[in-house]
Structure 1
Amino acid sequence: MKNKIRLTLFCLIIAALWVSTAKAQTSPGALPAVLNNYPWTDSELIEPAALAASIKANTVTLPLIINIGAVEDIKGAKHIGAAGKSENLKALKSMVATLPKNTGIVIYCGCCPFSKCPNIRPAFQELKKMGFTSVKLLNLPVNLQTNWIGKGYPLAGS
Structure 2
Amino acid sequence: MKSKIRLIICSLLIAALWSCKVVAQTSPVAVPSVLNNYPWTDTELMEPADLAASLKEAPAKWPAILNIGAVEDVKGAKHIGAVGKEENMKALKSAVAALKKNTVIIIYCGCCPFAKCPNIRPAFMELKKMGFTHVKLLNLPVNLQTNWVAKGYPLAGS
Q: Same fold (TM over 0.5)?
A: yes
- Report the TM-score when normalising by structure 1: 0.83
Match of 1:88 in 2: 88
- Report the TM-score when normalising by structure 2: 0.83
Residue 22 of structure 1: which of 21, 27, 45 is its match? 27
Mapped contact 2:33–2:40 kept (Cα < 8 A): no
Match of 1:64 in 2: 64
Match of 1:79 in 2: 79
Match of 2:136 in 1: 136
Task: Please give the per-residue CA displacement for 1:33-66, whole angstroms capped at 9, x wherever unaligned.
Answer: 0x21100000100000000011123364211000
**CA radius of gyration, larger in:** 2
Equivalent residues in 2 for 1:1-150, closer than 5 Å = 16-22=21-27, 30-33=31-34, 35-58=35-58, 60-150=60-150
AA matched with 1:18: V
Unaligned runs of 5+ in 1: 1-8
SS at match of 2:56: helix
Aligned pair in 2 of structure 1 residues 128, 11: CA closer, same or farther (>3 Å)? closer
d(CA) in 1 for partners of 2:41 and 2:132?
15
d(CA) in 1 for partners of 2:46 and 2:81?
20
**Root-mean-square deviation over aligned CA pairs:** 2.3
Unaligned runs of 5+ in 2: 1-13
Task: Please give the per-residue CA displacement for 1:78-133, whole angstroms capped at 9, x wherever unaligned.
Answer: 00000111100000001111111001100000000000000001100000000000
Of 15-24 and 124-133, deviating more is 15-24
Match of 1:157 in 2: 157
Give the fraction of aligned pairs with identical amino acids, expressed as a percent. 69
d(CA) in 2 for partners of 1:17 and 1:103?
42
Match of 2:11 in 1: none
Provide runs of 4+ in structure 1 moved above 2 Å: 9-16, 18-24, 29-32, 56-61
AA matched with 1:43: T
Aligned pair in 2 of structure 1 residues 14, 58: CA closer, same or farther (>3 Å)? farther
